[in-house]
Structure 1
């Protein structure tokens, strides 16, 4: 006991001696290196993987900083100057202890208060403007129907003098010509390009020379999602007919998917597992679009049951890509359909029959054909030599060329 007590006393004395000899240094970061920041996140905190970028002031003040981080749905901003700067009556330092050198290095750390902005809330302004327009039109109709002669004359004058968006669009070329090349305003082509970027289509390459290079499939489904597809169970089941696939797939009644899965499994040689993974993911998209009602999007357990218990990452990414605050808007419906049809093209050598997919999804053939045209496909009517019947064939044409955006009324 005495021996152990002696060793403990010795170690404590060494520790206290070491702590007394710690050297403390204050380091001022150079102009080219940013110091660390202390940030306060009121409310929602970003994921740990969210990248933040620091910006310097253009007025020459080396202490001013603006920090911006962004996720798909939320934008975070913070500054240590101006109105957004937190009130601070002291200077904060961050210390780093080096065990090998027995030193503590201190460096100044500006304090930031981070503000969050939800991107989807920007849509609320458009909604308010739309409602105001509807109210104005209704008020005008009532005034013309039941108003006095003087009120009717005023309403007609206001309507005649109003400037509409269509009138501005028709005059945009003349406006640019009068303003001249020195103007920084957008050109007509730039406006059209901005409108096209708002379409619900995957990332694409307008200069692609091969159909397989036209769309970036990784923007639709990642390798992490494909690798968890339960294709092993599908192969081990050894299905002989399409009916055998019904209980094995989340959307088992798709002729487009079932025929290709059966053909892939029954093919001679090594089974093409990457192709099976893409086909099964398309089946998940079909189930998500056709079987999950908008009211069920917040019921995780029900979605798992309907979609045949998919891996967690699949449901997480579907919600991330195709919902806004767990709500599926009409825009998101079109986005699901566009992304799904690009994957269908990829497994069908970029030629497919839109009528078969329309039947699988319980949609009108004209709807599928229209979406395929918007993706850059040419839709032709083909006559069968054997039966004399006609059918549709959609082929992806490169380089991609999208239909012109209509200038008429919606």
Structure 2
């Protein structure tokens, strides 16, 4: 009978209009609150105390605190994320509705959320530790308890700590102790004077970089990285350019290169040699400067192909490298050139298995070294200003990674000018001027400056 009456009352309330009102409690009056206990939860009858700053309403920037025999609970409802006003800093606003069935009115009360973090009393540091005298007493009492009731292992550890503790009288007293102290101070001063300076440490670190030999005192970009330190004259002269120069057109010249999928190499080949020989069979005769640059372009084509043949982390198979470089200008790469590449851009690593010995492998350091040598040669051919995006696409690497390599060589990254941005858009290498602005050029500047090492904790 009672269930039927309840259902009848609920059915009678359906469709009726409910008036909503907002509670206007005085600032000093207590307000309802929502509590969130992520871990430990206090007993239901635990009394809580409300704390608010002087002059602040009771429902804003409040602190609720309570404690049991084992745990303390404390929470603030204000996050402190902003300082613009009283309401700043709340992550979410909550309301509690109280319905008056007699007047059919729903009154909304503001209810800030309090998230409680419990702290165990037994794990908190004793307050006596703030005072040195009290801390000493606490240590002595703990030592006495350990001696009386501790295990043998704990007692042995405690005795070892007491023996190793240094005090002002650990070395005794008298004139001989004063002499020992003076000797130690003089020895420390002498050793400290022999320590390398910050400049010496930085210079030594720069010399250990996997980059070509450099001249830190160079006054022009062309003198920073001498060419003979990047590639020897014998390697360059081992490249025969006669077949490349005499080829009838660009397509035939491209087929003579061991690596043909580089836009940078294609562009330089078009710039240094005319697109097609004359109808009379006239062969192009580039100047000595262009021939030198052409040799570097052909050498870079060998380096591109070498990166394909010698993969990082794998032993280098010389026969495989010779096969991959066999389509070089003039009928293939010479044995001396292949040996020079393997010697320069690989490192000896102990071979596995029962045979032992060593094998040449492209380690991570050797890989970075090869990339840096390639970037230096590209800078030289481009007049020490190279487009980063083109190089990154040719190497199959991200722009940021290639930018870091250019910085490690002492280059500065320069944003393209308005004319360069228009040119990139016209060539189809950028969809818009904003996209073209992301493309940067690496420019080698003097005096040579390498990036400084970051200090301090890394940001997470």
Could you state the TM-score of these two structures normalised by the residue count of structure 2? 0.48
State the distance in 1 between where 2:259 and 2:222 align: 26
Correspondent of 1:183 among 193, 199, 217: 193
Aligned pairs (5 A) from 1:32-71: none
Is residue 321 of structure 1 aligned with residue 344 of structure 2?
yes
Unaligned residue ranges in structure 2 (runs of 5+):
1-152, 162-184, 276-283, 327-331, 349-359, 426-432
Aligned to 2:229: 219
Q: CA deviation at 1:295?
A: 7.0
Structure 1 residues 294, 371: closer, same or farther in 2, change over 3 A? Answer: closer
- Equivalent pairs counted in the alignment come to 241
State the distance in 2 between where 1:290 and 1:179 align: 55
Structure 1 residues 194, 295: closer, same or farther in 2, change over 3 A? Answer: closer
Query: Secondary structure of the residue that 1:382 maps to in structure 2?
Result: coil
Structure 1 residues 195, 295: closer, same or farther in 2, change over 3 A? Answer: closer
State the distance in 2 between where 1:188 and 1:209 align: 24
Aligned to 1:199: 209
State the distance in 1 between where 2:248 and 2:418 align: 33
Is residue 280 of structure 1 aligned with residue 298 of structure 2?
yes
Aligned to 1:234: 244
Query: Secondary structure of the residue that 1:352 maps to in structure 2?
Result: strand
Structure 1 residues 296, 304: closer, same or farther in 2, change over 3 A? Answer: farther
Aligned pairs (5 A) from 1:292-331: 292-294=310-312, 297-308=315-326, 309-325=332-348, 326-331=360-365
Query: Secondary structure of the residue that 1:372 maps to in structure 2?
Result: helix
Cα RMSD (Å): 3.2
Larger Rg: 2
Query: Secondary structure of the residue that 2:415 maps to in structure 1?
Result: strand
- Contact (CA 8 Å) 2:309, 2:324: kept in 1 or not? yes
Query: Secondary structure of the residue that 1:394 maps to in structure 2?
Result: strand
Aligned to 1:266: 274
Q: CA deviation at 1:244?
A: 4.1
Structure 1 residues 298, 291: closer, same or farther in 2, change over 3 A? Answer: closer
State the distance in 1 between where 2:193 and 2:205 align: 21
Is residue 252 of structure 1 aligned with residue 252 of structure 2?
no
Unaligned residue ranges in structure 1 (runs of 5+):
1-149, 159-174
State the distance in 2 between where 1:367 and 1:182 align: 39
Could you state the TM-score of these two structures normalised by the residue count of structure 1? 0.53
Aligned to 1:129: none
Structure 1 residues 180, 381: closer, same or farther in 2, change over 3 A? Answer: farther
Q: CA deviation at 1:349?
A: 0.4
State the distance in 1 between where 2:440 and 2:192 align: 49
Aligned to 2:129: none
